[in-house]
Amino acid sequence: MPDIMQFVPILIVGFAGSLALTPLSRQMAMRLGVVDKPNHRKIHLDNKPMMGGLAVYVALVTALLLFSPPDHIAEFTAVLAGAAVLALLGLIDDRYDLPWRTKLPVMFLAALGLVMTGVRVHFFGIPLLDGAITTIWIVAITNATNYLDNMDGQSAGMTAIAAFYFMIIAFTQGLSLVTLLAAAVLGSALGFLVYNFNPASTFMGDMGVLPLGFILSVLAIKLEFDQPFSVYWLVPVLILALPVFDINLVTWTRVLEHRSPAEAGKDHTAHRIMSIGFGQRITLALIYGGCVLFGTMALLISVSPEDVALRLASFGVLLLLGLAVLMTWLRQRYQKPPPATITTPSTDLEKVPHG
């Protein structure tokens, strides 16, 4: 079992590093013109710097390099290299607004590179099939985290909560690599959240959300469960319930409304909650509460006998289905969907409005 004194320093250094570096990344973004400009789709009324991801990534890497045991360096290097590729992609996208057709192949290449190092699920015991499932999972969670970057504090807060539950579960399983990596993500996300909580003075941008989503997908894969198709494999899905739910919600909404899934819009979970009159902070509190609820459910499942775990998992799935019904009703009742017409996709996989 990993020593508690291994991950606590990583958490503290990640937090302090992100806290100290974010003001510098904010100034750099303003000078380089990497800003999120207000428009009719967005809530904020002034230019917001978007290089917070630089502070988060540097803090995370620094914490790991300073306190990780040597036997984890090779695996951390593989993960952080893929995250670095996505951070660079995100920076270019934040500055020049790349088309999704350019971004998606790079995400797949980063995921494939990680799979080639041996990071993969073991469902079928067939390397090619397991590798394909792993690649799809990594790209999906990377994009799902990006989809959540539509309101102050949402993506950073969700990342911190998810990393906390990955850290606790990995610690109980004796998985030092996952524990240390999750601690670094938790600390760096919390440090940035100080500046990103409503009203935010800076945004993470794709430079932050893409590598963090990439790392969260890896944390989910690296948890260990004995049986390939047991109920325990729902543990990482429930920890990441919000991004998994939201990306499915908006994708199916846009398909049913005859719009491109890549088109930006105010049809996310947070936007639907706000449509009934809640402010950003109340909405964020509800979203954080949901993340904690599903994370706690995942933690209980991970330590419960299979029959109890099955009941808990069934309740979690039913809760998500009920939430989908509620979100669909809110869309119809309060948001008045546009007429069913084919629209031109935006240039981004998901350039959603910030708050």
Length of the chain: 355
Per-residue pLDDT tens, the chain, 355 aa: give them: 566 777 899 999 999 999 999 999 999 999 888 887 665 455 544 578 989 999 999 999 999 989 888 888 888 899 999 999 999 999 999 988 898 889 999 999 999 999 999 888 888 888 899 999 999 999 999 999 999 988 999 999 999 999 999 999 999 988 999 999 999 999 999 999 999 998 899 999 999 999 999 999 999 999 977 666 789 989 999 999 999 999 999 999 999 998 888 887 889 999 999 999 999 999 999 999 999 999 999 999 999 999 999 999 999 999 999 999 999 999 999 887 555 544 444 444 555 445 4
Cα 230-146-19 angle, rounded to 5 deg:
105
Exposure of 236 in the CB half-sphere (CA atoms within 13 A): 21
**Which residue is listed with tokens 């590729």?**
85
| Token duo for residue 15 | 């937090």
Contact 287, 242 (CB under 8 A): yes
> Among the residues of 154-198, which ranges form H helices?
154-173, 176-196
User: What gap in Å lies between CA 331 and CA 61, rounded to an integer?
Assistant: 41
Contacts of 37 (CB under 8 A, 6+ apart): 47
> pLDDT over 90 for what percent of the chain?
69
Model confidence, pTM: 0.91
Contact 327, 272 (CB under 8 A): yes
Collapsing DSSP to helix, strand or coil, 49 comes out as strand
Cis peptide before 9 (omega within 30 of 0): no
Give the containing element (helix H, strand E) for 104: helix 100-116
**Domain locations in the chain?**
4-335
Q: Which amino acid is at 195?
A: Y
Q: Tell me the CA distances in angstroms from 108 to 84, 132, 140, 143, 214, one per residue in order.
A: 14, 10, 10, 11, 11
Q: How confident is the model over 181-224, as pLDDT tens digits?
A: 999 999 999 999 999 998 899 999 999 999 999 999 999 999 97
